[in-house]
Amino acid sequence: MAESDSTTTRRSMMQAAGLGLGAMLTGVSNAIAAASPADISGAEYWAHKGAVNLSLYRKRIAPAPGAPPQPVLFLVHGSSISARPTFDLTVPGAGEYSFMNVFARQGYDVWTMDCENYGRSSRTESNSDIKSGVEDLKAASAVVTQATGQSRFHLLGESSGALRAAAFAAAMPEHVDRLVLEAFTYTGRNSPTLAKRGEQVEYYRTHNLRKRDREMIRSIFTRDKPGTSDPRVAEALADAELQFGETIPTGTYLDMTANLPVVDPAKVVAPVLLLRGEHDGIASLDDLLDFFGKLPNPDRQFIMLAGAAHALNLGLNRAQVWHAVESFLAMPKRADT
């Protein structure tokens, strides 16, 4: 029986994207996996979106005098956890979990930010939806440019943070060098997690906050595929995050259950890396391949991470994430242009 056109197209796209680690990843750099964070410095900054104060955090190894500028990497958190617990987590006795430390050791100037109503940033009556997150990133980009002298930077977002990052890249392409989208969703098609979440869409429409307690944080690591993360991670994450309270904005949940798509792939002109965990219940494979096929820039990659779930950066196989991201960001320039 002949394959359908859609099946053939999908298979061709997967092959062109280099789907699977075997074709793209050769192992994790020893420098990423083993170095000490002792020589990494951190600094706090503030951006201002009108009356809203946005907390930014920066980590890097101070460059030697006269060294060229370090490439800037800006990290965007998702719906339920603020910036530093997401990207700068310490899990006692469990190895490195700080994405910021890993990429600072690789020579990047690494930044992140609490969006409005998250972490250390201002509390307002907003539900902090994707559009609000884009405005947050606009305010943050001005601070990054002033501090680094660089108006273009790499951008990485995870889950709804990937939606924020992609929407910012579409709106402000002059600021985005290379774009990494982890656990992204396009239309939400074939997503069991979003289908279940959609049962509460009227609540999200009528309330700006939802409950986010320790049990909910634990569920992030068990809802897709138990065993894809160390149980100590959920407890460390809850300890780090719950200092900010047990409620969190509903805006991104409303967008992801009622308003998708919120990003037009044709307007995302930066080079893009799409990363999906094998067991991710939000980012379905067909949905992501549809988005991938509509991106206008041929400099793009799609990687499926075997054994991983939605929380890529905090899973057992996080070193594969670091390797894939570093390989994409450090891609040599084309010689024919």
As given in the structure block, the two tokens for residue 75 are 């990290």
Instruction: Tell me whether residue 101 is in a domain.
Output: yes
Q: Which residues of 27-62 are buried (b: 16+ CB within 10 A; e: fewer)?
A: ebbeebeebebeebeeeebebebeebebbbbbbbbe
Which of 24-28, 89-93, 98-102, 121-125 bottoms out in mean pLDDT, i.e. has the lowest? 24-28
Q: Give yes or no for residue 119 having a pLDDT over 60.
A: yes
pLDDT at position 229, please? 98
Select the more confidently predicted residue: 38 or 64. Answer: 64
pLDDT at position 61, please? 96
Q: Give yes or no for residue 113 having a pLDDT over 90.
A: yes
Instruction: Tell me whether residue 185 is in a domain.
Output: yes
Select the more confidently predicted residue: 15 or 325. Answer: 325
Instruction: Tell me whether residue 10 is in a domain.
Output: no
Instruction: Tell me whether residue 334 is in a domain.
Output: no
What CATH number does residue 270 fall under? 3.40.50.1820
Domains held by the chain: number: 1
The number of angstroms, rounded, from the C-alpha of 282 to the middle of its chain's C-alpha atoms is: 14
**Residue 52, CA atoms < 13 Å, CB-side half-sphere:** 24
pLDDT at position 37, please? 54
Instruction: Tell me whether residue 183 is in a domain.
Output: yes
**Mean pLDDT along residues 257-279:** 98
Instruction: Tell me whether residue 34 is in a domain.
Output: yes
pLDDT at position 283, please? 83
pLDDT at position 262, please? 98
Q: Give yes or no for residue 110 having a pLDDT over 90.
A: yes
pLDDT at position 16, please? 44
pLDDT at position 10, please? 46
Instruction: Tell me whether residue 94 is in a domain.
Output: yes
Full-model pTM: 0.91
Tell me which residue range forms the domain holding 167: 15-329
Q: Give yes or no for residue 289 having a pLDDT over 90.
A: yes
Instruction: Tell me whether residue 136 is in a domain.
Output: yes
Which of 2-6, 106-110, 273-277, 301-305 bottoms out in mean pLDDT, i.e. has the lowest? 2-6
Q: What percent of the chain has pLDDT over 70?
A: 89
195-253 pLDDT, tens digit per residue, is 999 999 999 999 999 999 999 999 999 999 999 999 999 999 999 999 999 999 999 99
8-63 pLDDT, tens digit per residue, is 444 444 444 444 444 444 444 454 444 455 699 999 999 999 999 999 999 999 99
